[in-house]
A and B are shown apart, each in its own frame.
Chain A
């Protein structure tokens, strides 16, 4: 049997509300539709998968987060690669793509784009059926877009992102519901079998790992049934369950410290292996349930109250997070070419930063001895990971290819490229001005996002999980905001751990995670990552550290301190 179209991946994704389609289908206002108008879903895909055809009678699909409506013009023929990327493009892009043999048009989508009146004239000689139609009442326009099948993710990404940044695009979107829906289809689960050639001689029971001595979140939730269900699945890029859990199998964990024990190889891992990721996320993030909760993102630093600490106690302030570039695999699975692409995209964007954010990139493969020494002295340099948690997940492959450090001239804004995530963004300074640190953090992040969007890229983000990063522990905000603070008296008080707990803070040594405190100086930061916004978490740290300083002052004066009431977790 011919091999065929094994799976495809839409480069664009977006929010979507379930849509009752049959009542509210919109017919194109003008022109004739040459082929039958169809609705395509995975369940209706032809067995031989030569055509992706559709059923007109699509029922209400409340449970389905995304859907696609397409008019298929021609069969999709297989290529040797077996993987394809579909993207929604404007006519210009699709023409360019076809001219460059990067992709071909396989269908058309009738889109509804709110808030814009197309300026250009509708038809071009090569693509006569593209015509915008204006609906003045709703201030929208109907426009036919091309559904283009690309052979290379890079090209698909470049072209398709032009549309994705417009969050107000609907495909045959609902007239009545009044909300904006973006209906794109991300082919997941049932059709993610890019791994058709998975070599399986042994049944899942023979392959199931021995987790009896293990103490990590993955081991707690990977039952033989879950393993059997997921072990033959792959993401569109070919990432498998075994790869996702390898780090947890190789590192049984510690009786006192419960590590996560699994990683994502790409954005789709969180979907394809949701049956395992969701309970792990819920356990790690103290009850946040990805199935029915939404994560708020808020990078408006003007909402912060206070934020200037007493510098007698607070030595330095720092906020860090990570960002991943959509369309490129994550460090456990990325190929050398993808990693180099991440470096290129991010470095290009960072080069566009101006003012107090302007800076320079130091590639690990090309930095001079002098530069290296300077970075070490500034405590900026990161090394090849030695932690088996990271090396077993494959994050140190090809070191130091495509890794590097960027920082601004003032050394207060720092970006690590291709370490544990695509990027780690750090804003820091000596002293207690957390407010300014966070302002710079937000400004820098938003600038970088704008710069990559200009080139057609975007960050991995969705409403359920917030910003997508390699380790599930960093989902949501991926934010750790903290201070180095001296608390000589408070740290010796027996109530210190409980106070921290109730304030939803954690302490670490001044060397970072898994280090001990030196003297009486602690690294105090937020405990949570997912379920609260950046602003909320930073405010928590500000309020919390202020309280700790108050406690320390009280103890200095010989007064007694109180354990504060526990603050609520999901606001």
Chain B
């Protein structure tokens, strides 16, 4: 809860034993890492904005998880959370991000020219291409913890920054609480509109408070560059278009991001970033690049192949249904995107997608002709 540690001080009247949550039936990264000793050590700490350990773990306590899907189970309330509660976050980050150590450094590379290829994905298979990431604005608390005043300040600053963009990025902001019915219909048709979160993972972390105050959607006139304000992160930046020209999508992504960052820096509120964690976002699963670059691609034969999952793992890719996370595929069309977030740069991750999808399309073509693809199965990247 926002504003301070007063309630936490009151909790300190009870022993760590009495307050320790019951995690016996839990299956998420936080529950695997949090011991009584760690809880006792961290419970009287707070970040400068007053975020406490119980605030960090509440979503993981309330959502025990699924036997098959490991959720993260903890969130950050501000930039300093990752530091003040590093005893908890470091092992969680390591578990979630394939062994990323507390001493590792993350490389940021938003130079789109470093991407090789990506403009030649077969449009018969690739229906659309998309790259998204998140950004947090330095000096403000994150969505689990921010107050209405802070959230509004983030919105104001973001809208000012976005409205100053021009050229291919010239666009308009649609605040959720005052959009007209017509605008709303249009945004739904374009698949741009986001709704109040219903996932208990987000609700339990307090991210839907005061909805829809200070939330909104900005997009450019071409509808190829889109920014969500105050949804799960301060900003979610999305570049997308129909077809398979991932190179162009990534170019626009990088250019747009850099333009926005310049403007924020001028207002003395750059993005939250550090050498170890890269771009700092609310959920530890999005640290590093926070980037998910992917395509909607038709792979009806390959997706039913016995080795599909293994191929994806080796290519460092993941699949989702066309509705996004936790949805099923429709008509053999899959959302294929990078699996990694931290430890590799933006360029490297999009390169993985470009190369991997290209290979999978070749495999699909082979399978169409009735040929085997065993020789094409790649080594682990």
State in angstroms the CA–CA spacing of A338 and B10 once bound together: 11
Docked-complex contact A340 and B7, CB < 8 angstroms: no
Docked-complex contact A151 and B13, CB < 8 angstroms: yes
A311 within 8 A of B: no
Docked-complex contact B19 and A336, CB < 8 angstroms: yes
Docked-complex contact B153 and A202, CB < 8 angstroms: yes
Chain A interface: which size bin? 35 or more
Q: Which of A105-113, A393-401, A438-446 contacts B (4 or more CB under 8 A)?
A: A393-401
| B1: chain A residues within 8 A (beta carbon) | 240, 242-243
- Smallest beta-carbon distance B139→chain A, Å: 10
| Complex interface residues of chain B between 142 and 190 (CB less than 8 A to chain A) | 147-150, 152-153, 177
Docked-complex contact A242 and B14, CB < 8 angstroms: no
Q: Give the contacting residue for A194; candidates B9, B147, B204; CB below 8 A.
A: B9
| A398: chain B residues within 8 A (beta carbon) | 21-22, 61-62
B308 within 8 A of A: no
Q: Given A250-B208, A391-B203, are A337 and B62 also a contact pair (CB < 8 Å)?
A: no
State in angstroms the CA–CA spacing of A154 and B14 once bound together: 9
- Smallest beta-carbon distance A318→chain B, Å: 31
B12 within 8 A of A: yes
Q: Given A153-B13, A338-B14, are A333 and B152 also a contact pair (CB < 8 Å)?
A: no
| Complex interface residues of chain A between 201 and 240 (CB less than 8 A to chain B) | 201-203, 206-210, 213, 234, 236-240
* Contact pattern, A 77-94, Cβ under 8 Å of B = 1, otherwise 0: 000111100000000000
Q: Given A206-B152, A209-B148, A335-B14, are A199 and B4 also a contact pair (CB < 8 Å)?
A: yes
| B44: chain A residues within 8 A (beta carbon) | 80
A346 within 8 A of B: no
State in angstroms the CA–CA spacing of A239 and B8 once bound together: 10
A462 within 8 A of B: no
Most buried by B among A152, A196, A209, A336: A336
| B49: chain A residues within 8 A (beta carbon) | 199
Q: Give the contacting residue for A199; candidates B13, B50, B61, B148; CB below 8 A.
A: B50
| A34: chain B residues within 8 A (beta carbon) | none
Docked-complex contact B19 and A242, CB < 8 angstroms: no
| A341: chain B residues within 8 A (beta carbon) | 18
State in angstroms the CA–CA spacing of A239 and B50 once bound together: 14
State in angstroms the CA–CA spacing of A197 and B9 once bound together: 10
Q: Give the contacting residue for A397; candidates B62, B148, B153; CB below 8 A.
A: B62
Chain B interface: which size bin? 35 or more
B5 within 8 A of A: yes
| A199: chain B residues within 8 A (beta carbon) | 2-4, 49-50
State in angstroms the CA–CA spacing of A338 and B19 once bound together: 8
B194 within 8 A of A: no
B45 within 8 A of A: no
| A336: chain B residues within 8 A (beta carbon) | 18-21
State in angstroms the CA–CA spacing of A548 and B251 once bound together: 75
B248 within 8 A of A: no
Docked-complex contact A201 and B209, CB < 8 angstroms: no
Which residue of chain B lies nearest to A251 when distances are taken between CB atoms in the complex?
B211
| B12: chain A residues within 8 A (beta carbon) | 80-81
State in angstroms the CA–CA spacing of A154 and B210 once bound together: 35
Which residue of chain A lies nearest to B18 when distances are taken between CB atoms in the complex?
A337
| A338: chain B residues within 8 A (beta carbon) | 14
Which residue of chain B lies nearest to A240 when distances are taken between CB atoms in the complex?
B3
Q: Give the contacting residue for B149; candidates A83, A207, A340, A399; CB below 8 A.
A: A207
A281 within 8 A of B: no
Q: Give the contacting residue for A210; candidates B6, B18, B213; CB below 8 A.
A: B213
A56 within 8 A of B: no
A259 within 8 A of B: no
Which residue of chain A lies nearest to B61 when distances are taken between CB atoms in the complex?
A398
| B204: chain A residues within 8 A (beta carbon) | 397
Most buried by B among A153, A198, A201: A201
State in angstroms the CA–CA spacing of A201 and B146 once bound together: 11
A551 within 8 A of B: no
A249 within 8 A of B: yes
Q: Given A197-B4, A337-B19, A397-B62, are A83 and B147 also a contact pair (CB < 8 Å)?
A: no
Docked-complex contact B19 and A82, CB < 8 angstroms: no
Q: Give the contacting residue for B209; candidates A80, A206, A238, A246; CB below 8 A.
A: A246
Docked-complex contact A83 and B9, CB < 8 angstroms: yes
Which residue of chain A lies nearest to B11 when distances are taken between CB atoms in the complex?
A335
A59 within 8 A of B: no
| Complex interface residues of chain A between 386 and 406 (CB less than 8 A to chain B) | 391-392, 396-399, 401
B58 within 8 A of A: yes
Q: Give the contacting residue for A81; candidates B13, B22, B153; CB below 8 A.
A: B13
Docked-complex contact B3 and A242, CB < 8 angstroms: yes
Q: Give the contacting residue for A201; candidates B6, B10, B149; CB below 8 A.
A: B149
Docked-complex contact A249 and B62, CB < 8 angstroms: no
State in angstroms the CA–CA spacing of A206 and B148 once bound together: 7
- Smallest beta-carbon distance A539→chain B, Å: 42
A368 within 8 A of B: no
State in angstroms the CA–CA spacing of A567 and B32 once bound together: 61
State in angstroms the CA–CA spacing of A517 and B203 once bound together: 32
Docked-complex contact B150 and A198, CB < 8 angstroms: no
| A238: chain B residues within 8 A (beta carbon) | 4, 6-10
State in angstroms the CA–CA spacing of A339 and B141 once bound together: 29
Most buried by B among A151, A200, A210: A210
- Smallest beta-carbon distance A228→chain B, Å: 13
| B18: chain A residues within 8 A (beta carbon) | 336-337, 340-341
Which residue of chain B lies nearest to A198 when distances are taken between CB atoms in the complex?
B4
State in angstroms the CA–CA spacing of A338 and B204 once bound together: 20
Which residue of chain B lies nearest to A200 when distances are taken between CB atoms in the complex?
B3
Docked-complex contact A250 and B10, CB < 8 angstroms: no
Which residue of chain B lies nearest to A207 when distances are taken between CB atoms in the complex?
B149
Docked-complex contact B14 and A207, CB < 8 angstroms: no
Q: Give the contacting residue for A195; candidates B4, B19, B21, B62; CB below 8 A.
A: B4
A365 within 8 A of B: yes
State in angstroms the CA–CA spacing of A336 and B43 once bound together: 13
| A240: chain B residues within 8 A (beta carbon) | 1, 3, 6
State in angstroms the CA–CA spacing of A249 and B8 once bound together: 24
Q: Given A396-B62, A398-B21, are A197 and B6 also a contact pair (CB < 8 Å)?
A: yes
Which residue of chain B lies nearest to A243 when distances are taken between CB atoms in the complex?
B1
Q: Give the contacting residue for A82; candidates B9, B22, B153; CB below 8 A.
A: B9
- Smallest beta-carbon distance B27→chain A, Å: 16
- Beyond A240-B6, A338-B14, 16 extra complex contacts between A and B, CB < 8 Å: A80-B12, A81-B13, A83-B10, A151-B13, A152-B13, A201-B150, A207-B149, A237-B6, A238-B9, A240-B1, A242-B1, A246-B210, A335-B19, A337-B15, A341-B18, A397-B204
Closest 3 A/B residue pairs (Cβ): A202-B149, A238-B6, A337-B18
18 contacts between A and B (CB under 8 A): A81-B10, A83-B10, A153-B13, A197-B6, A199-B3, A202-B150, A208-B148, A237-B10, A238-B6, A238-B7, A238-B8, A240-B6, A242-B3, A333-B7, A337-B14, A341-B18, A365-B22, A398-B62
> Which residues of A are at the interface with B, using a C-beta cutoff of 8 A?
80-83, 151-154, 194-203, 206-210, 213, 234, 236-240, 242-243, 246, 249-250, 333, 335-338, 340-341, 365, 391-392, 396-399, 401
